Amino acid sequence: MVITTVRLVGMLALALVVVALGELVPGSPRLYSDTVQLLAGLGAAGVCFAAARHRTGVPRRWRHLAAAGLLVWSLTRLWWVVQDLSGAGRQSPEAIADIGFLVLPACMLAGLLASTHTRPRPVPTSPRRDQIALVIDSVLITGSVLALIWSVFPGDPLDDVVGAALLAYPVADLVLLTMVGLLLTTRPDSPAGRRPLRLAGAALLAFGAADTVRLLGAGPLWLQTAGYVLGPALLTSAALSPARPVVQRPAAALLERDWLHLLLPYGPVLVTGVVLAARTVAGDPLTTFQAYLGWLGLALVVTRQMLTIMDNTVLLDRVAETQERLHHQAYHDPLTGLANRALFQERLALAVEAHERSQAPVAVIFADLDDFKLINDTFGHAMGDRVLHAVGERMRSCVRSTDLVARLGGDEFAVVLDQGGEPAPPARPAGGRLRSMVRQRIGGRRYVLSAAGVRVTGNADWVPRRTAPPPSPPEPGWSWSAEAEAIGQRVLATLREPYVIDGRSVGVGVSIGLVTAESGDRLSADILLRRADAAMYAVKRHGKGALIRYTGPRDTLPNADLPQLLAGALAEGGSPAAAGFEVHYQPIVRLSDGATVAVEALARWTDPVAGRVHPDVFVTMAERTGLVAAIDDFVLDRACADAATLAARFGRPIDLHVNVSAGRLGQQGLEDAVTAALQRHGVPAERLIIEITETLRIPDLPRAAEVVGRLRALGVRVALDDFGSGYNALAQLHSIPVDIVKLDSTLTDFGAEPDRAGALCRSVLAICAELGITVVAEGLETPERSRALAELGCPLGQGYLYGPPAPITALTN
């Protein structure tokens, strides 16, 4: 900035010295003046051309335009010098001189219009309309000022042809100077970025002063020479100004400048109109020049208003589009295009409100992709995103147009089903055959999730049905529940189909929870979603890849919020037993003789408000809310406390199996809890078996192996629960040093394909035998299954065949 200021002062001083020398040099003052102007113009043109080589875009363009205009302007001075040297004198007006004087303003006009691209208005508009509006505003202000000036001076400038021709030069300078003023006052820019424009305005002021002196024909020649020398000098300084980035101003300041842009042109027009109207009323008629200016001003005002209307129309359209886009972004998932949680909650709240008001049917499907992290880890997150998008598209194809499909986050999706009268789309085939069933069968059992828990019934009570109602009169709500479940089954079957992406076949499992609002339910959107969520997690605990419906008797008490009740029951410092928690025990027997060798301690909860709550419900909620450690520690302590009673009841010491969530293997506190319980109740460590449940993935296998190793060092044995389903598989068996493996009931079911099931069991038994691991078969409900596993060499078994979980007082030897 200092260098630029010094350069500017030096140029001004040099120009004044040159003008002063003209008064001292003998000879023709006119020849000296024309020669100095010629040299000043040529020098300025050369500097502008040279400076343009180091610029790009608009800064390069306006410097080229200024150089071209100065070059033509200098050629007119050369013509004058030739005339002065030949003694021919000047003929006025001269066509060549007129061309030279008008080319420079035209080039300056083009350069100023180009600068609007680097100084846009705060409110976006069309660049072409912006340039036209700038010209109109400049002409409006200039015309108003000229009308005021000529209302003071007598005569009409149009009466003199020569005067009218010479008038064009200062008028053009005034229009350009006004345009510079508008750009400076209404367009944002940094101080460094505004410097070239200010210097160009000063140059125009110098040119305008010289043209005015020439027009009036009065004043000393040196004054006219000073203007014509200072003009090129100032343009030279503008061309040499360094480039600076544009500084963004606050939005409020930009809007203030835009209001100034809209109002500024009409101030001079209003003042001029009032003055001329007053003079006309006073009896002073308008001159021809003033009349022309008036009609021109009126036409420009009308044109300016039309442009403003067009800009406002475009702006309103853009605002509407922006609002619509922002609204869509606020309520939709950017990856899948589905509704997000906010829109889902609003839609569900409206559906629940309609249900309470007019018993309108409503249901919620909650779907969670099984082991989706493996897809991201195997194929990358880009492939995972494409799979999520494909899942969303398939879910939309399975539901009706009135239903809302949403992505709640991660790999969780949900559907609001309402207005149940619309038929559902046809089912897509999966594996060659798809049947929409009213009740879902899992592992030979029927699970019905209710506010009180999950009831498990036998196969005889399970009857598959199609979507259409049976011939007999349906019970209240049956038709809507069946339709909702049919849609859920269709979603389940469709999402199971492989996804072919970039030639790769990617398989994705899904667990689905379904809840329907029944007549008499007093619900909220949050409670309905939680029930669907709990149903989905019940699927996770029973093998995944299925659908469970939350149905049965409903708690109509408004305060029966299970997560809140569970948090209160397991509050720190409280007593879970006082809040309804207790421990039941299920026998583990030796298959060769049926003798009980161990018991598994299982948590049970009977809440004073919600009643009996099934473990699949409260354990799932505890895992999701971080309360599962409190349940684990309560069961561990109670089992150790009951060890002596159990030994007395069975006549010998027996082992204690206690479940621990897999997520705790990566957390602090498990080892301390185990050690404290054993010491507090005097239980030998070799009598305790810690079962790692499979509902959650072990977060850090190496760290989990270290924890298991330290527990085994204490003498405690470790078991993998539900082996063969969920996350417990050969990877955990390889990484974690366990003592016992409990086969999941899905592996011990010999009913459908006994040869295949037998082969799998033999393989697992052989692996465990090689590793020195004891095997316990779960889910033994029939003598045939127990006998088959015994024949395969399985030593231990557990299931309803040998007794359900029961209080310690109900156990029999």
* Residues with catalytic function: 778
Q: What angle do CA 391, 392, 398 make, to 5 degrees?
A: 90
Amino acid type, 249: R
Residues 695 and 623 sit within 8 Å (Cβ to Cβ): yes
Residues 659 and 693 sit within 8 Å (Cβ to Cβ): yes
**Helix (H) or strand (E) segment spanning residue 523:** none
Going by the DSSP 8-state scheme, the letter that residue 440 receives in this structure is -
Task: Please state, in angstroms and as integers, the Cα–Cα distance from residue 28 to each residue in 32, 150, 223, following that order.
Answer: 7, 36, 16
In 3D, which of 369, 378, 511, 509 has the Cα closest to residue 449? 511
Task: Please state, in angstroms and as integers, the Cα–Cα distance from residue 240 to each residue in 64, 198, 229, 644, 801, following that order.
Answer: 13, 13, 17, 98, 97
The neighbour count for residue 193, using CB atoms within 10 Å, is 20
In 3D, which of 271, 61, 266 has the Cα closest to residue 182? 266
Query: Would you call the peptide bond into 426 cis, given omega within 30 degrees of 0 as the criterion?
Result: no
Report d(CA 151, CA 580) in Å as an integer: 100
Residues 521 and 450 sit within 8 Å (Cβ to Cβ): no
Report d(CA 644, CA 636) in Å as an integer: 14
β partners of residue 163: none
* Token duo for residue 145: 């000022």
DSSP per-residue letters across 93-107: S-HHHHHHHHHHHHH
Report d(CA 173, CA 7) in Å as an integer: 25
Report d(CA 743, CA 792) in Å as an integer: 13
Give the chain's radius of gyration (CA, Å): 45
